[in-house]
Amino acid sequence: MHNKGLLVANEIDFKRAKILSQNIERSGICNTLVTNHSPEELLERLPGFFDKVLLDAPCSGEGMFRKDPDAIKYWNPEYNRQCAERQKEILRSTIPLLRDGGTLIYSTCTFSPEEDEQVISWILQNFPQMKLLPIQKFQGVQNGRPDWSDGNSELLKTARIWPHKTKAEGHFIAKLIKAADQEKFESRLSTPTVSLSRNRKNRKKSTVSLEKNELKLLSDFFDQAKIDTDLSTLAKFGDHVYSLPDFCPDLDKIKILRAGLEIGYFRKNIFYPSHALALSSLGEKFYPQLSLDDHQLIDYVHGDVIRIEKSDFKKAGYF
């Protein structure tokens, strides 16, 4: 997405959500909301909001047995059926998150037909507005198996990755589009559109407004750093300032761990830039940078002292 648009990364487990937020920061990603909700809670807040949804469904993990032998310990003859029921519960909340013409990617890391083809058949039977789209398959990726479900030939559009056919673990993928009727379905295929707006007016109810002195500190910082930033995109959570992504929804009653790009924080009328800003593409524009050779990099990662020539510091813009 090249840090454009809006990416909502949701994780129901809070500890995993914290790790997800840290990974987003380390990757220098600026356009992401990291949220901590169940699918049902997310639907209450953002019905029909998304252009695309990727559901990496919790599954029995049979495709990971070779990679993670411990996963075998969780498997039992009833586990596939239990996982399939949980996947259907999640899908009941996930499909309504899509706008008309939106795309759903459903994926698992299991071989189980109960959790793969049979779940897709269940979607097609219970959500008639959902239509399967073909997936371009590279060498070693095979079609889904209609004979392992209800025989619907549409299931050939899904994809199975077999570990003995390609250099990967076991996976299943299906791509579906949501349409209100056949006419709209066909028009979406030929001319996809984005129905969201960039309206920034009513989306900051859960944030604190920036005070005049804080806006002045931020404006001075951006001027000094030679960064052209729209101050209307900034919002404050506690003492921390974030630049909200485009298409950001109303954040009221949404449990957020990361709201776009953290710019920095205030302490005693002083503004401190954040580590996330330094790691982002914005940070590359104004932070002095040093190039290290392989030996210096190894020493640096190891925590050893590295020696840099004074001329290199000057080239990097430190003084």
Enumerate the active-site residues: 109
Residue 216 in contact with residue 222, Cβ under 8 Å? Answer: no
- Alpha carbon distance 113, 235 (integer Å): 46
186 labelled binding-site residue: no
Pairing of strands 234-237, 240-243: antiparallel
For helices 117-126 and 79-94, the axis angle rounded to 10 degrees is 40
CA-CA distances (angstroms) from residue 150 to 125, 169, 270? 11, 26, 65
Distance from the Cα of residue 120 to its chain's centroid = 23
DSSP at 166: S
In 3D space, the residue among 123, 54, 47 whose CA is nearest the CA of residue 84 turns out to be 123
Residue given tokens 């990416």 in the structure block: 7
- Alpha carbon distance 14, 298 (integer Å): 34
Burial class (CB in 10 A: 0-12, 13-18, 19+), 155: buried
Give the start-end residues of each E strand in the chain.
7-10, 32-35, 50-56, 98-108, 130-133, 141-143, 159-161, 171-178, 234-237, 240-243, 256-259, 261-267, 270-273
11 labelled binding-site residue: yes
Joined together, the tokens standing for residue 15 give 């500890």
Largest CA distance in the chain: 72
The annotated binding site for S-adenosyl-L-methionine is made up of: 11, 56
The annotated binding site is made up of: 11, 56
